[in-house]
Amino acid sequence: MSQIVLNGEAARSSPTGKVLLAATQSEGYWRSVWQRLRADPVAMVCAAILLLLIFAAVLAPWITPADPFKTSMLKRLLPVGTSGYWLGTDELGRDMLSRLIYGGRLSLTMGIVPVALAFIVGTSIGVTAGFLGGKVNMAVMRTLDVFYAFPSVLLAVAISGAMGPGMSNSLMALTIVFIPQIARVAESVTTQVAKLDYIDAARMSGAGSLAIIRIQVLGNVLGPVFVYATGLISVCMILASGLSFLGLGVRPPEAEWGLMLNTLRSAIFNNPLVAALPGLMIFITSICFNLLADGVRSAMDLRK
């Protein structure tokens, strides 16, 4: 709320004063958010785990102990703790630790990239519809409601099935799934912001619509939408893993946690611990994204 009031005062001042006051306010606000987030041990632990997973995925070619694609039928389904194979081997004798590290590359990409693309497109659509209102809002939001009406899993499977398997098609399908959800949140927040007094003051001062959106609206909209989008990363990862599990996502012999679950399901009775490792990685990563998003949401709510 303090952010909105300060923006309102800036809208009534000169252009130079408006920019300086907005910059000062924004800097103080985000510093306060960071201090509150840093005081949340759960969010910090989750952030550390996610950073570790990201660094491991980026450095995979240099830190993996073995070739993740090298097969050996003599070393099939070795148990966890085997000498030279800390996390055992899969159904083709490939080192599980190496494949889990490499699998993080595709799994994190499939979770983050669609949400990032949907955030850009959905926020643009939602802010435009919410700010213009009227028939434009009605036409845009009712069109998006057609996609929003379908369950995310069903819509992702339908789009991926129509486009065919493959990583690029899965990325596009998941992006389409999340655009309506993010656009709805952006439109809802923008509609509330557009009714406030400082927006009217900005219009009366002669500011154009693009300037108002860029300076006055986005500063109050991007935060809530970003927090919501961060929470969708875990959902996106699970959907991407589900698509790979069904054969609609990443294809063999690529290492991806959902695909690894599919290929290891036949070994669930012979070596259940090894077969469960990809699912455990999906669970840990998803819960860390969820808890981190909750921590950011609480840190941004200065009323608490």
18-45 CB burial, b ≥16 within 10 A, e <16: beebbeebeeebeeebeebbeebeebee
Q: Which pair of structure tokens corresponds to residue 249?
A: 């996502």
CA–CA distance, 260 with 276 (Å, rounded to integer):
10
pTM, to two decimals:
0.84
Taking Cα atoms as reference points, which of 11, 52, 66, 36 lies closest to residue 203?
Answer: 11
pLDDT at 302: 63
Residue 128: closest CA among 265, 221, 35, 3: 221
Superfamily of domain 2-58+106-300: MetI-like (1.10.3720.10)
Q: What is the pLDDT of residue 27?
A: 61
pLDDT recorded at residue 167:
87
Domain parsing of the chain, residue ranges: 2-58+106-300
| Residue 95, pLDDT score | 93
Distance of CA 60 to the CA centre of its chain: 22
State residue 84's pLDDT score: 85
**What dihedral do alpha carbons 274, 278, 279, 284 form, nearest 10°?**
120
pLDDT tens string, the chain, 304 residues long: the values are 334 444 444 434 444 344 334 434 556 767 887 888 888 899 999 999 999 999 999 999 999 999 999 998 889 988 998 888 899 999 889 999 999 999 999 999 999 999 999 999 999 999 999 888 888 889 988 888 888 788 888 889 899 888 888 888 999 999 999 999 999 999 998 888 877 777 767 677 766 667 777 777 777 888 889 889 988 998 999 999 889 888 888 888 888 999 898 889 888 888 889 989 999 999 999 999 999 988 888 887 766 5
Distances, alpha carbon 250 to alpha carbons 5, 70, 177, 233, 253, in Å: 48, 18, 18, 18, 9
* pLDDT of the residue at 87: 92
